[in-house]
Amino acid sequence: MYPPAPYYAPPPPAYYAPPLMPPPPKRYSPWLVPLIFLVNLGLFIWIMYENNCPSKISKDQCMLGQYLDRFSFQPWKDNRMVGPTPETLQRLGGLDRKLVVDGEPWRLLSSMWLHAGLIHLFANMLSLDFVGLRLERDFGFHRFVFVYVLAGLGGNLASCLNIIKHDWSSKTISVGASGAIFGLLGASLSELITNWTVYDDKCSTIMILILNAALNLAIGFLLKMDNSGHVGGLVTGFFLGFVLLVKPQFGYVSSKYIPSYHQVKRTARHNFCQYFLGLLALVVLVILYGVGVGKLFNIKEIKEHLPDSVKNY
């Protein structure tokens, strides 16, 4: 009598393969956000040098005039942000709506790198660190800089159109990175929506972003700041996030990490909703920028119908 034959498990089917695991993400250390901070700080020092408060009033009247000399600040009653005069900001690239329309459109970009004072500068840079470091770490500097600059441009366009609509003769000078930073907040919100499958604690994160944006807008209203630029940057950044900040959906693995024997169904890089939202947002952005630029630079035709006192400003 022979012993029973040993039992062997049947071989796995031909299509069997172990589950795919995406490779660990590459480590990226943000460098553009710190560079933006240094550039803004350097430009503010240059602004204070050009402002030269003691040349306008006595050194004793300038804030910290005895210690900072040429770099001292305007008196508190003149600038509660602790900084230069509006005339200095206008001369160095601040957003003056009349000058933009009359041949200096570069101010739409230059103004976002200038700040009205130390308080303004450090409040904006703290906000930039809060929202910007994560975005640059997750998406790299190239996509980050597009969102930052384009959102700032959108905010400045909205600011120009708002002041022209309400008071063409207003001499308000707008400066600051607030529009771009609000754009980063808006992009963070849309990025969370379009990349919904790859995040945990989504609802709490959305609430934090919304409350942050609402709080900053409320502060802008209380301090009578240029909230049209904030809203313009927020809206622009929201749509830019759908276009520029799209991640591969959960479960996607690049083909270069898939072995040749693996025959199971693969997850697509992006899903239909991501493509649809990205295309829709791109169309909206083209319309918004087109309408904004068109309205802004056709103001000269409108001025022909205004009183001489306004046309001659």
Task: Please check whether residue 74 is in contact with residue 85, taking contact to mean a CB–CB distance below 8 angstroms.
Answer: yes
> Kindly report the CA angle at 123 between 120 and 128, in degrees rounded to 5?
120
Please say if 178 is a catalytic residue.
yes
Residue 100, CA distances (Å) to 105, 151, 186, 212, 225 in order:
5, 18, 26, 31, 20
Structure-token pair, residue 156: 């400045």
Catalytic residue among 159, 178, 190, 228: 178
Look at the block and give the residue holding tokens 């700041």. 225
pLDDT value, residue 258 = 60
Lowest mean pLDDT among 154-158, 186-190, 239-243, 297-301: 297-301
DSSP 238-304: HHHHHHH-PPPPTT---GGGS-TT--SPPPPSS-HHHHHHHHHHHHHHHHHHHHHHHHHTTHHHHHT
Mean residue pLDDT across the chain: 82
pLDDT digits (tens, 9 = 90+) for 4-14: 655 555 555 55
pLDDT value, residue 18 = 57
pLDDT value, residue 137 = 93
pLDDT digits (tens, 9 = 90+) for 38-71: 999 999 999 999 999 999 898 889 999 889 999 9
Phi-psi region of 67 (alpha: psi -120 to 50; beta: other; left: phi over 0): alpha
Please say if 120 is a catalytic residue.
no
Domain range annotation of the chain: 32-46+96-311
- Under the banding of pLDDT at 50, 70 and 90, the label for residue 310 is very low
pLDDT value, residue 59 = 87
Nearest to 296 by CA among 164, 168, 208, 130: 164
pLDDT digits (tens, 9 = 90+) for 182-232: 999 999 999 999 988 777 777 777 888 888 888 877 877 766 676 889 999
pLDDT value, residue 114 = 96
Catalytic residue among 159, 174, 188, 230: 230
What percent of the chain clears pLDDT 90, i.e. is strictly above it? 50
Lowest mean pLDDT among 127-141, 175-189, 267-281: 267-281
Domain spanning 32-46+96-311, CATH architecture:
Up-down Bundle (1.20)
pLDDT value, residue 21 = 60
- Predicted TM-score (pTM) of the model is 0.82
